[in-house]
Structure 1
Amino acid sequence: MTTPAAHIESQDVATLIRAQLPLLNGVRPVGHVENSRPTAAISSSRLGIGFETLDRRMFTAEQVYPHLSRLGAKWARVQTGWGRCETEPGRYDFTWLDGIVDNLAAAGVETMFSVTFGNALYMPDVPHESAVGYVPIYYEGALSAWTRFVRALAKRYRGRVTHWEVWNEPNIPQFWQPRQVSGRDYAQLVRVTAQAVRAEIPDATIIGGATSLADPAFLVDALRGGLAESIDAFSFHPYQMVPEHNLQNMHDVLRRILDEHSPGRRIALYQGENGCPSQLAGHHDDWLGMYTMDQVVQAKWIARRFLVDLKVGFDKIFYFHAVDLVERPYRQAGDQINEPVMMGLIHGGSYEPKYSFEVARRVCHLFDDRTLRTELMCLFTERDPSSPQRSTLMAAPYVATFERDGAPLFVYWLAEDPQQRTAQATIDVELWWDERLSMDHPVLLDVLTGEIYAVEQPADFFQTDWRSRGTKYRLPLTDYPLVFTDASVVAELGAKWRDR
């Protein structure tokens, strides 16, 4: 048994906050968001959370449900664990899964099943009882047993689980054994699995892919093997330390390939798994390229990750993971025991929320399906009076624009590596929104701290070269999202005003 405390890095979070999150320049603090809404109060959202590895009992789910009832993420990705459900041939114990699905529903969260991994009963060479990554199509008798299991699973959860994802990261050997990775073989696995699910749930949403990173060559191979005929959505896991890096291109390439192989029927595209550790050392995910990580940097990364995913246009978006995975050894295919996964919003030892939890919560509650992605004009400029010939448009700020209940939302941040802890700056910005939207009382919401700032600068309509360009402001610029919007938008999040 792993000792959780042995893996958790001690951090003085209050000191980290003071160092990295000072008050914003040029605007006046007037309130604070004190969100008290439960997850159940959100009717729908594209945002979800990883609730995986319970097939291997890697965390205590009962400790997490109360937090999910507050978080605001409306979907949870849950692995079904064939090896845990069927420990005797032909006999299924779904009691543990019943508890997960029912408790998530009570918390206001809908389950998406990840139907994945093997079973030692039918695979004599697996090195561990969890059979992580071992594929039933490669074992005599296993495929028929897999099909019976999936059909029993679908029958059990008909009317309770609508979304069914097939396998996890089949494009890398860590999760595809004992043969070489093959897109065509994966398409075969999806086909038989989808048929078993739809035999009991004809209108089930079947998700394929779940690939490690964007892997267009694997996707094309799978589509040539017939994948498009079996799926309603495709998911992939674009892990990276700078959330925005090349993400639009990855989305657009996969979107094009799916459209070309499925003319006349749109296959949805999910960001199916993505996470960031809250500490530098002592965990499995040092491959991300970290050099100075802490809980505040993780919180910046999470806010940026959710918002860039919303801007890019994914149909569903999942953060990995709800809680650190430290209670039992973390395994992939093979017999190696890996370091624990420390990407959780919740500490795996104490089950207390990390700093990132409340940050993710603000994003989930503000950017549910009532907040619509809308293209609005947002133009950053920075002048250099000492060298006018070098003055130019500043391209570095990343912008995502939305509308909610008749008000515009401009979300912007500096898209540098969050580990750089870039110092706050100020910048000129010209904004334009449609006449159907209104901004009667402009405020700036700091997503990281929850502080609300009044923007009290003159808001004259800005004109140059005989053209109306919008309203010009001088605003703070940080390496994490700030939301410029109307006070009515943040009021719904339980804003406590200091001057009212």
Structure 2
Amino acid sequence: MPAAAALLAAGALHNLYSQAPEIAWQEIGKIKPRHARNIPSSNLWIGGETLDRDYANYEQYKAWLGPLGAKKLRLQSGWAKTERAKGVYDFAWLDAIVNDALSQGVQPWIQISYGNLLYNGAGSVDLGGGIPHGEEGLAAWENYVRALVPHFKGRVREWEVWNESDLGDNIKRPDVYAELFYRTGLIIREIDPQATIVALSMARMDVNYVTAFMDYLQGRGAVSLIDVVTFHGYPTIPEGNFDKVEIIQNLIWKHNRKIRFWQGETGCPSTEGSSGALGGHPWTELTQAKWNLRRALSHLGRGIPFSLFLLCEFSYTKHPAYVNRNPLNTKGLLEINEKTLAVERGKPAYYAYQNLCAMFDGNAVPQKEFEHSARTSGHGEKLVVHAFRHKTNDRHAVVVWFGGEIPSNANHCRIATLHFPKLNITHPAYIDIRTGSIYRIPDSSIKRRGMETTISVPVYDSPCVITDEAFFETLRF
């Protein structure tokens, strides 16, 4: 992080810590951030979308990428930005981003989009518009893909075909996207057999749409082109939508059980009136930070890789549909100057996600069937619990928060008592992920008989972790 950014960070951190919950235990340290270069692997990623349409400027925010600790960066390939004259492909703008991300220890994965107005039937140049179709449009698309994939071979391993193909009128024609995916997948497999091909990028998770898409590929013997399916979603309650995910998973796994699922795009604004999803709720920077953590851990706890939308705010100033609407999308972890796109500061959500990335790397293995019971001091509260086991030392980390409602703009704690028949913790610690504060759990709050453990902890609507000091290498005392 540059010196100027560090000065801006100080104010944001002061704001973050001043909004800490009232936990009366002894604080023994803070989580130490980890640069992406120092994290071997992780299922926590970050979005770098909209650079293809110049709604944000990578040069303005790249210094914040590596220090965040996310291990992958989702990019959009920008066909229209790359091919401005027929048959002439200029990848210089995307080369600069990919090379810089790699130098920071962050692996780019590229979503191939959008269309190109140079050709008839080559799709639209923005979200929710037409998908390439017809002889001329598909031929031009195929030529572009044949130029794109070998150009980045060895630097990019994962290719996602289109973005939110089920938006707008496209929902009525799943065959159009299926044909695009089929043609694209064949080209990618031919050029780079080891590449990961990512399908659907669903906004709606519509059963009929997905069924038609899978049947189309099944009919061509091409289901094996799919390695990963991505889904999106912006529920006001961050634990939401997993019932839909399970339905889609079961539908797709009937065709091929080996297909994996990623969360490709989801995030929360920091203000009311933000452009895009969730803009109608009175969000604050505090509730954004809480929502992001709860959303991320709801995926990690289920073993689903997670990409947060997104690192930097962006503005639809150049989009004609936003002439009389607020063009600023405040889902970014970094606040920008809307006119210059320069980064003003990191929001509390940046530092909260930075803490999460530092803590939950590839060593944190989700324990989906972790036996426990719980009771709380209130009534009707939904206590969310996700457990993880450290891959090398077998210590446990149990994440808890009150969920089932939209994050509040207050930090009131209530006591929850959790019982674990088998909890591998020797030196108990309690960590508020949002603030990074580490507490020693007093002996009076713990009852143990061997690995059978009962612990009473203060809980609020942002994730905290019951763990062992040995679980996280990043504890700073």
Q: TM-score under structure 1 normalisation?
A: 0.84
Separation in 1, partners of 2:347, 2:153:
35
Change (3 A) 1:124 1:185: closer
Is the 1:13–1:295 Cα contact (8 Å) retained in structure 2?
no
Equivalences for 1:360-379 in 2 at 5 Å? 360-374=353-367, 375-379=369-373
2:278 alignment partner in structure 1: 288
CA distance in 1, matches of 2:71, 2:15: 32
| Alpha-carbon shift at residue 271 of structure 1 (Å) | 0.8
Q: Indicate whether 1:273 and 2:260 are aligned.
A: no
Could you report, residue by residue, the CA deviation over 1:30-51 in whole angstroms, capped at 9, with x for unpaired residues? 222232x311111111121111
Where do residues 339-358 of structure 1 align in structure 2 (5 Å cutoff)? 339-349=327-337, 350-351=342-343, 352-358=345-351
Structure 2 distance, partners of 1:82, 1:109, is: 23
| One-letter identity of the residue aligned with 2:23 | L
Separation of aligned partners in 2, 1:382 and 1:106: 47
Contact 2:116 2:122 survives alignment (8 Å): no
User: How far off its partner does 1:15 sit?
Assistant: 6.1
Alignment RMSD (CA, Å): 2.7
Q: What is the aligned partner in structure 1 of residue 474 from structure 2?
A: 493
| Distance of aligned partners of 1:461 and 1:338 in 2 relative to their CA distance in 1, 3 Å threshold | same
Call closer, same or farther: CA 1:395–1:469 in 2, change over 3 Å. Answer: farther
Letter in 2 for 1:407: R
The answer to whether the 8 A contact 1:441-1:487 is kept is yes
SS in 1 for 2:336: coil
CA contact (8 A) 1:273 1:319 kept: yes
**1:307 is aligned to 2:297:** yes
CA 1:457/1:203 → structure 2, altered by over 3 Å: closer, same or farther? same
1:214 aligned residue = 205
Q: 2:84 aligns with which of 78, 84, 87?
A: 87
**Aligned counterpart in structure 1 of residue 398 of structure 2, from 392, 397, 410:** 410
Q: What are the Cα deviations for residues 166-207 of structure 1, in whole angstroms up to 9, with x where unaligned?
A: 011111117x4xxx6322221111001111222211221111
Distance 1:136 1:447, change over 3 A: closer
The answer for the alignment partner of 1:460 in structure 2 is 447
Conserved 8 A contact 2:167-2:204? no
Give the C-alpha shift of residue 243 in structure 1: 1.1
The amino acid of 1:295's aligned partner reads E
Determine the structure 2 residue equivalent to 1:146.
Answer: 141
SS of aligned partner of 2:101 = helix
SS at match of 2:300: helix
Q: In the alignment, does 2:311 pair up with 1:322?
A: yes
The reply on whether 1:65 has 2:86 as its aligned counterpart is no
Change (3 A) 1:40 1:427: same
Identity %: 29
1:223 is aligned, of 209, 214, 223, to 214
Name 1:203's counterpart in structure 2: 194
TM (normalized to structure 2)? 0.88
Q: Which consecutive residues of structure 2, in runs of 5 or more, have no partner in the other structure?
A: 1-10
Q: 1:211 to 1:457 in 2, by over 3 A?
A: same
Q: Which of 17, 21, 28 pairs up with 1:30? A: 28
DSSP 3-state at the match of 2:346: coil
Cα separation, 2, equivalents of 1:105 and 1:378: 41
Q: Deviations over 1:396-428 (max 9, x none)?
A: 110000012331101000002103646211122
Amino acid at match of 2:174: G
Q: Residue 277 of structure 1: CA displacement?
A: 0.2
| Alpha-carbon offset, residue 123 of structure 1 | 3.6
1:290 is displaced (CA, Å) by 4.6
Q: Distance in 2 between matches of 1:145 and 1:70?
A: 39
Aligned partners of 1:336 and 1:81: how far apart in 2?
Answer: 26
Partner of 1:444: 430
Alignment partners' CA distance in 1, 2:323 and 2:185: 30
Residue of 110, 119, 124 corresponding to 2:116: 119
- In the alignment, structure 1 segments of 5+ residues that lack a partner are 1-10, 385-391, 463-467
Q: Secondary structure at the match of 2:372?
A: strand
1:90-143 Cα offsets, whole Å, 9 max, x none, are: 1110111111110110111111110011101004898x8x45554454344111
Secondary structure of the structure 1 residue equivalent to 2:467: strand
> Contact 2:55/2:317 (CA < 8 Å) preserved in 1?
yes
Shift of 1:55: 1.1
Contact 2:269 2:279 in 1 (8 A): no
For 2:70, the aligned partner's letter is A
The residue number in structure 1 matching 2:183 is: 192
**Would you say 1:171 and 2:166 are equivalent positions?**
yes
Match among 441, 458, 463 for residue 481 of structure 1: 463
> Which residue identity lines up with residue 246 of structure 2 in the other structure?
D
Kept in 2, the 8 Å contact 1:331–1:337? The answer is no
CA distances 1:334-382 after superposition (whole Å, capped 9, x unpaired): 9997622110011122512111111101111211111111243332124
- Give the distance between the partners of 1:131 and 1:31, measured in 2 at CA: 46
2:55 counterpart SS class: coil
Deviation at 1:81, TM superposition (A): 0.7
